[in-house]
Structure 1
């Protein structure tokens, strides 16, 4: 999570990690979600204000944009639809899950016609909508709409009713930016996100490679469930969800993160960043249940 800079920009792009505190107790899914919600609600107002956060965002944008072809989505051409008499641009829909203030949406803006953000934090959703909807930041690009909604796809009882309508299905791309490590049950998370894709759609995660535990004084410590991921772990998760063409690409060098409230001159921690990709099979001969479209009712069975 909500697109979170670690500081977690994560459960929301939220940045963060040490789920250690939660894992060592009888914390329930709902309680863990509440911990994330409260943390990111408080962090929303200063999420992108520090220079290190701006650097984090810029590096993330550059990494994603340099790998657009690798991601495997037939993104829209940013120049489509601007010439007089030109046809409407091809519709490309993106689900930005755990969207935070829109870090990932900002990176892909102009390459898709519609962005739907979802986050458990009301304040992060507000920040996203103020950035994209209220200020009409998509003006001058082919992006027609970018709007976020409060919701949770990962609840034990099934996805929130607020994200169960047809608008929240059949995406060309579902992306989770720096929030996957905040999800307790990764198999459920991967399957439910994959179910929101159209046949042939792509699931993409942006996150950290395996790293040391987050320091005890970090306010985001208890929002973290996993200390990054290994390449084989990601490939296994995507494979179990029925995804194909699974692959990983790593960022050159490292990215610096700091705890929430850190000063610009205060040293941070270095993280290796990766993109993980998997494609939902297209419908056709031999299609399995995982390859079919899921209705809002069917999704609750996952």
Structure 2
């Protein structure tokens, strides 16, 4: 019999997440009533910690794993333009519908795609800021993802990730019903985040805690973090 670690290594988390969020996107706020407020909390923390990164007249953002757009909606008043990206077509459709209903389609739009960090993707766009909120724990290879995201940063641009911090005792934070879509069940540590950011060529790594947040999957107060690093070659902010 194979071990749980072996089973996890051979499990296709990307496809499982695509299927899960295609099925659950239209029920997101019903199943996770704190989701909208979580987006606001993460945006507020990012702006509190790194206010110079947010310029309404200039900042162009890639919101990676954007879901149905709750984080983008909270971020939109503080930046010039947002491109959301997600592997779930249903989530992207809801995102674009919300943007249209809010009358902000010219300021935020989403596409369904995967990224490898290669020429031609996203029409070769580059961004001042890339954000990812509440999604890194769903991504099996955060090393590959971070390298791909770094490709889309302008020199001097920053990657900001908001996610769940691994507790000191290493305990699992997600109940079994989420194990099919969450490879990082213990959260993510500062050492792990530093390693993946720096291996992607990003510099000036920092990771700051947010106040504990109670979320439905864990059912407990959970410490969240904001991790930040920048692409070399531009002005340091």
2:81 counterpart of 1:114: yes
Aligned partners of 1:255 and 1:272 also within 8 Å? yes
How far residue 23 of structure 1 moved from its aligned partner, in angstroms, is: 5.5
Output one character per residue of 1:275-298: Cα deviation in whole Å (capped at 9) or x when no partner: 1000111259xxxxxxxxxxxxxx
How many residues align structurally?
228
Provide the secondary structure at the position in 2 that maps to 1:191: helix
Aligned partners of 2:76 and 2:107 also within 8 Å? no
2:209 counterpart of 1:258: no
Output one character per residue of 1:172-204: Cα deviation in whole Å (capped at 9) or x when no partner: 111111111111122111111011111111101
Q: CA RMSD in A?
A: 2.6
Question: Where in structure 1 do 4 or more consecutive aligned residues deviate above 4 Å?
Answer: 20-23, 158-161
Match for residue 36 of structure 1?
17
Question: TM-score normalized by structure 2?
Answer: 0.85
2:4 counterpart of 1:24: no
Q: Following superposition of structure 1 onto structure 2, how do residues 209-248 of structure 1 map, counting pairs within 5 Å?
A: 209-211=165-167, 212-213=171-172, 214-216=174-176, 218=177, 220-226=178-184, 227-248=186-207
Which is bigger in relative contact order (C-alpha 8 A, separation at least 6)?
1
2:200 counterpart of 1:276: no
Question: TM-score normalized by structure 1?
Answer: 0.68
Aligned partners of 2:13 and 2:139 also within 8 Å? no
Q: Who wins on radius of gyration, i.e. which is larger?
A: 1
- C-alpha separation between the residues in 2 aligned to 1:180 and 1:33? 12
2:90 counterpart of 1:123: yes
Q: Following superposition of structure 1 onto structure 2, how do residues 1-302 of structure 1 map, counting pairs within 5 Å?
A: 24-25=7-8, 27=10, 31-50=12-31, 53-71=32-50, 73-77=52-56, 90-132=57-99, 134-138=100-104, 144-154=106-116, 163-166=121-124, 169-211=125-167, 212-213=171-172, 214-216=174-176, 218=177, 220-226=178-184, 227-252=186-211, 254-259=212-217, 268-283=219-234
- C-alpha separation between the residues in 1 aligned to 2:166 and 2:50? 22
